[in-house]
Amino acid sequence: MNLEMQFKKTLKEIRLSKKDKILVAMSGGKDSAVTAYLLHKFGYDIEGVHIDLKMGKYSKDCYNAIKTLCENLGINLHVYDVKKEMGSSMCYIRSAVQSKHKGKIKNCAICGVIKKWILNKVARKLRFSKIATGHNLDDEVQTILINIFKGSIDLSATSGPITKNIKDKKFITRIKPLFYVLEDDVRNYAKKKKLPVVFDKCPCAIDSYRIQVRNFLEKVPGKEKQNIMKNFEKLSPKIKKKNIEMNYCEVCGEPSRGKICKKCELMQI
């Protein structure tokens, strides 16, 4: 099945409607560019959001690529400037959090939590019904393995091309239309369509545990990665799942599993 057919099949599976108002999280990379490109091509109502992390030249290149893509396709783009909204660049926020937690929390863990928090808040404020991200099959297989290695496989049981088991009026449902597409296929598609994309990796991703798992998976053929996902999905219904009870964070008011959300927990210095 080619990439476009797989993409459409996933949208059908998650019952995405043309009435949905979708905010696409655009990083400047190939995955979110292909996600925005195809949702637009297939006639969905989308706008883009870019979180500008203010990480020097890399951030500038990412912004320029997104701006070009959105202008070419006529997609409205929202930009969330981390420095303006939160007072500092992501590099500064990260080092402050790391010195508080004695360096135990890795770059991507901090950045990822903050970006998720921002996306939900922005999407709700702008009244979007869905948030689309560019996660591909390789990302998802990495997550399954990380959760197995860390003994928290129940976390993967709720993952899928659409968020499951979370129902809360302040939580915006997230979708991943490239969930079943291999990273190599996304890369080839972006090149074939000549999409403006930054192919370089984020310069701050150097110390992530995920990188180690990604390097390990590099030697695994695509077919085997698809098998890992297929077999995990067979196993997944047997893993006990419960509906996730949502509270509202006592500090910021955003939806949270605990009394204080992960972002506020990290940032309370």
Q: Give the β-pairing of 247-248 and 255-256.
A: antiparallel
Regarding 111 and contact with ligand SF4 (CB under 6 A), the answer is yes
**Residues near 99 by Cβ (< 8 Å), separated by ≥ 6?**
none
Regarding 252 and contact with Zn ion (CB under 5 A), the answer is yes
Regarding 119 and contact with ligand SF4 (CB under 6 A), the answer is no
Among 92, 96, 112, 196, binds ligand SF4 (CB under 6 A): 112
Restricting to residues 203-232, which ones interact with ligand SF4 according to CB under 6 A? 204-205
Regarding 86 and contact with Zn ion (CB under 5 A), the answer is no
Query: How far apart, in whole angstroms, are the C-alpha atoms of residue 269 and residue 264?
Result: 9
Query: How far apart, in whole angstroms, are the C-alpha atoms of residue 27 and residue 36?
Result: 11
Fill in the DSSP letter of residue 253.
-
Which of the stretches 105-113, 137-145, 153-161, 255-263 binds ligand SF4 when contact is defined by CB under 6 A?
A: 105-113
Which of the stretches 116-124, 181-189, 197-205, 261-269 binds ligand SF4 when contact is defined by CB under 6 A?
A: 197-205
Which of the stretches 2-10, 95-103, 122-130, 245-253 binds Zn ion when contact is defined by CB under 5 A?
A: 245-253
Residue type, 73: L
Which of the stretches 139-147, 151-159, 173-181, 248-256 binds Zn ion when contact is defined by CB under 5 A?
A: 248-256
Closest distance of CB 263 from Zn ion, Å: 5
Radius of gyration over alpha carbons of the chain, in Å? Answer: 18
What burial class does residue 175 get, using C-beta atoms within 10 Å of its C-beta: 0-12 exposed, 13-18 middle, 19+ buried? buried
Query: Residue 217, Cβ neighbours under 10 Å: how many?
Result: 16
Regarding 202 and contact with ligand SF4 (CB under 6 A), the answer is yes
107 binds, among ligand SF4, Zn ion, none (CB under 5 to 8 A by kind): ligand SF4
Query: How far apart, in whole angstroms, are the C-alpha atoms of residue 97 and residue 94?
Result: 5
Which of the stretches 42-50, 69-77, 199-207, 256-264 binds ligand SF4 when contact is defined by CB under 6 A?
A: 199-207
CA 142 to each of CA 77, 147, 219: distance values in angstroms, whole numbers, following the listed order: 30, 9, 13
Closest distance of CB 261 from Zn ion, Å: 3
Closest distance of CB 109 from ligand SF4, Å: 8
Restricting to residues 21-40, which ones interact with ligand SF4 according to CB under 6 A? none
Burial 21-54 (b: 16+ CB within 10 A, else e): ebbbbbbbbbbbbbbbbbbbeeebebbbbbbbbb
Q: How far apart are the first and last CA of the chain?
A: 50
Closest distance of CB 197 from ligand SF4, Å: 15
Among 96, 126, 220, 251, binds Zn ion (CB under 5 A): 251
Toward ligand SF4, which CB reaches closer, 93 or 157?
93
Most distant pair of Cα atoms in the chain: their distance: 50
Total chain residues near ligand SF4 (CB under 6 A): 7
- Report the interface residues with ligand SF4, using CB under 6 A: 107-108, 111-112, 202, 204-205
